[in-house]
């Protein structure tokens, strides 16, 4: 009744409690993504996992420990696959790498079925929005490095785009991705099903070329200037 769990040592045999551990992780991932982290109790999770109420604390130390374990289970996989796909882009025959390919390399690991699928995606979106200091640190630890790599790759692919524009468009890409992952259902009602962001395959098919087009668009500074004679943006309404 003492120490925390030690990771699978790599040999074929697994620790005896591993099955329970996984069931708790699965239940926690599902319930956290459905009701938010503060919205689910450890008792609910362990009950759903068919385990004793004390099992979560035994295997993960605390609720926060369980949260981090749930997050780490897929986050590192996503970050790793992102890096690999980005390297593939750069090693491609026709360089510089195609913008679509970079965008796809960023989005696919999050939105395709592996790495927890839509359930884990929804949890990530929740964490970004809930965004306590704990979760923010957690998110940054796993994803800031990969985001940084993509920013430099994008800068190489778009050498003429001002940094200001690049960062804002990256921000748009992140926002779109998170919103797509977080929202299974609202938009379809509004649009009579003309687009379905909860179908992540359809979402990828649209978002990858669309975001590439956004990155390729001319810098917005000049766009504003061209518009100025007509109406100064930012003063339009006030």
Partner DNA sequence: GACTCAATCAAACGCTTGTTTGAATATCCT
Partner DNA sequence: AGGATATTCAAACAAGCGTTTGATTGAGTC
Residues numbered 40 to 79 that lie near DNA (CB under 7 A) are: 40-44, 51-59, 62-64
19 binds a copy of itself (CB under 8 A): no
3-state secondary structure of 2: coil
- Is the CB of 32 or the CB of 143 nearer to DNA? 32
Phi, psi dihedral angles at 207 (to 5 degrees)? -70, -35
112 binds a copy of itself (CB under 8 A): yes
Show the tokens assigned to 92: 């491609």
Residues numbered 182 to 221 that lie near a copy of itself (CB under 8 A) are: 182-183, 185-187, 189-191, 194-195, 197, 201, 204-210, 213-214, 217-218, 220
Among 48, 90, 168, 199, binds a copy of itself (CB under 8 A): 168
Residue 20 interacting entry, from a copy of itself, DNA, none, C-beta within 5 to 8 Å by type: DNA
CB of 70 to DNA, least distance (A): 13
Q: Which residues contact 77 (CB under 8 A, 6 or more apart)?
A: 109, 114, 115
158 binds a copy of itself (CB under 8 A): no
Among 126, 138, 154, 200, binds a copy of itself (CB under 8 A): 126
**CB-count burial class (<10 Å; 0-12, 13-18, 19+) for 116:** buried
Report how far Cα 135 is from the mean position of its chain's Cα atoms: 13
Integer Cα distance of 26 and 20 in angstroms = 10
Residues in the chain: 238
Could you count the other beta carbons within 10 Å of the beta carbon of residue 94? 6
- Is the CB of 18 or the CB of 144 nearer to a copy of itself? 144
176 binds DNA (CB under 7 A): no
Q: Which residues contact 142 (CB under 8 A, 6 or more apart)?
A: 71, 72, 75, 76, 78, 79
CB of 90 to a copy of itself, least distance (A): 14
Binding site for DNA (CB under 7 A): 1-3, 5, 15-20, 40-44, 51-59, 62-64
């Amino acid at each position: 009744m003492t120490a925390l769990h030690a990771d699978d040592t790599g040999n074929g045999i697994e620790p005896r409690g591993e099955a329970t551990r996984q069931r708790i992780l699965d239940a926690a991932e599902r319930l956290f993504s459905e009701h938010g982290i503060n919205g689910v109790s450890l008792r609910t999770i362990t009950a759903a996992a068919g385990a004793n109420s004390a099992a979560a604390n035994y295997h993960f130390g605390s609720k926060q420990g369980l949260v981090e374990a749930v997050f780490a289970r897929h986050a590192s996989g996503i970050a790793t696959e992102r890096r690999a796909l980005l390297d593939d882009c750069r090693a491609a025959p026709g360089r510089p790498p195609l913008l679509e390919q970079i965008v796809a390399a960023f989005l696919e690991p999050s939105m395709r079925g592996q790495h927890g699928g839509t359930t884990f995606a929804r949890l990530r979106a929740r964490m970004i929005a809930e965004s306590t200091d704990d979760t923010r640190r957690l998110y940054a630890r796993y994803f800031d490095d990969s985001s940084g790599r993509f920013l430099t790759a994008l800068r190489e692919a778009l050498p003429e785009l001002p940094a200001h524009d690049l960062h804002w468009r990256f921000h748009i890409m992140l926002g779109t991705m998170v919103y797509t992952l977080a929202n299974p259902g609202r938009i379809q009602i509004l649009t009579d099903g003309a687009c379905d962001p909860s179908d992540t395959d359809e979402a990828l098919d649209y978002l990858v070329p669309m975001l590439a087009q956004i990155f390729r668009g001319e810098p917005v500074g000049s766009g504003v200037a061209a518009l100025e004679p007509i109406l100064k943006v930012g003063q339009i309404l006030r």
